[in-house]
Every structure is written in structure tokens, then in C-alpha cells.
Chains A and B, each alone.
Chain A
Amino acid sequence: MKIVGVAACTVGIAHTYIAQEKLENAGKAAGHEIAIETQGTIGTENELTKEQITAADIVILAADVKIAGRERFEGKRIIQVPTEVAVKSPNKLIEKAAEVIEKK
């Protein structure tokens, strides 16, 4: 399946990027296509394209703060968690995402 997401933590220096790395690795390891945008101190990076969002089966928001551009995901299935869930249990989070899709 195709997963897109956004990672954003309070300070925007560390957890954001660790969450991105862990989610992307866990997603790929489980055989999914995954892209995670980061919103940190440096600004938005790896910005999701319209095409990526349109094609996505599910959206994972790993965020401790209000993310910019949430309206881009309107009408999509969204899982929202704090960044620490993505950092602590990335594999479980990806499994959960797969379950949500299958139930659809």
C-alpha cells in the first residue's frame, strides 16, 4: 500500500527527523511505498506532492504540534499519533495502518 505522512515535533530539531527515518524504514521493510514530510526548525522538507497524497491509501501524522497544510489530507484516512509513538514503535504503527486499510 501507499503511505504518506508528516512528522513534526515541538522543537523541530530531533524527534521530527528520527520519526521520519523510523517510519520510512519500517514502511519499506513491510513492503509499502512510504514518504514522510518533515516540518521542523528548518521548515518543510521532503514536501509531499499532490500526486503522492492523491495516490496514498492512508496518512500518518506523527506530530506534537499543529501541522501546516493539514487540509491537504481532507477526505483521506488519517492516523494521528505523537512523534514518540513513531519513534518507539514504528513497526506497530505501520501494522496498524495496514489494518485500518484492510477494514475499509
Chain B
Amino acid sequence: MEVKDIVDLKTVKTNMNAKTKDEVLNELAHLLLENGYITEIDGFMRDIYAREAEGQTGIGNYIAIPHGKSAYVKNIGVAIGINKEEIPWETLDGKGVKGIILFAVGNDNEGANSHLKLLSLFARKLGNDEVVKDLLHSNSSADVMEAFA
């Protein structure tokens, strides 16, 4: 598997019109539920917000990486949303965010090492300015996947 295989076209949404963090997180969490990554919205969101409370997940450059380990995660994965307008978010550079990468990782990752490894390489790419630029300019799920290729 390659890093871009972490991206599931079914859990990517571009040209979103969300106005708030809650709205975008809810939409992305629903994609994760519909595609079998998580077992429940409420429990998963509680765990995501628990991490949000610990510190900023907006890493600058209009990107946010909400994440947390959650017992409600069945399969490791990510949901990616590209929003048309900036959404207010707690960020390191004080700007809002347009690209939201919601990580789904379980508490017990026994036997999931190859997936976790892929996820770490995926996360690493978010530290790369070129990748981020391509990601933010994505107009389709395929563009998003290509940004990580």
C-alpha cells in the first residue's frame, strides 16, 4: 500500500460550505460512520473534542488535524473536508482553516501496525508545504488523493 491509499474517496468532501468547526466535524464524522470506520457519532465526537480541549489542532496554513483515540473507531482512517471559506478554529498562526483532516484511530491497535505506519507517513505529508498547497486547491476527491501521491 502507498500513503495515498489512506485516503478513501468516499470519506473526502470538497467544496464544502460549512460555517463552523462543529458543522464540519459532524459532516466528516457522518462520512466515517457511513463507510464503516466508526461505530457511533456521539461517542467518537466526544473523544475528538477531548483532544481539541487539550490544545490547538489547527497547525497553520489553513489546515486542522482534529484527532483522538476513540473506542468508537472500528477501522483506522481519515475523513478530509475542503471548505470553500475559512472556518474559525484554534490555530497556531491565528488564521482560520479550510482543509480539515479528521483522524480516526482506535484505542486498541493490536494488529494494525501496517495501517498505523501508513497513517504516520500520511500525517508527515501534512508538514509539507507543497502537499498542503495542492490539498487546499483540490476541487474533487481525486484531487485530494493526488495531493498525497
| A interface, CB within 8 angstroms of B | 10-11, 13-22, 25, 38, 40-42, 45, 64, 84, 87-88
Contact = CB atoms under 8 A, between A and B. Distances in A.
Interface SS majority for chain B = mixed
B127 A10 contact: no
B69 A14 contact: no
Interface SS majority for chain A = helix
A71 to B, nearest CB: 25
Contacts of A38: 120
Interface string B112-149: 01001101110111111000000000000000000000
Contacts of B69: 11, 13, 41
A87 B92 contact: yes
B113 A42 contact: yes
Given A21-B128, A84-B55, A42 B65 contact: no
A40 B139 CA distance: 32
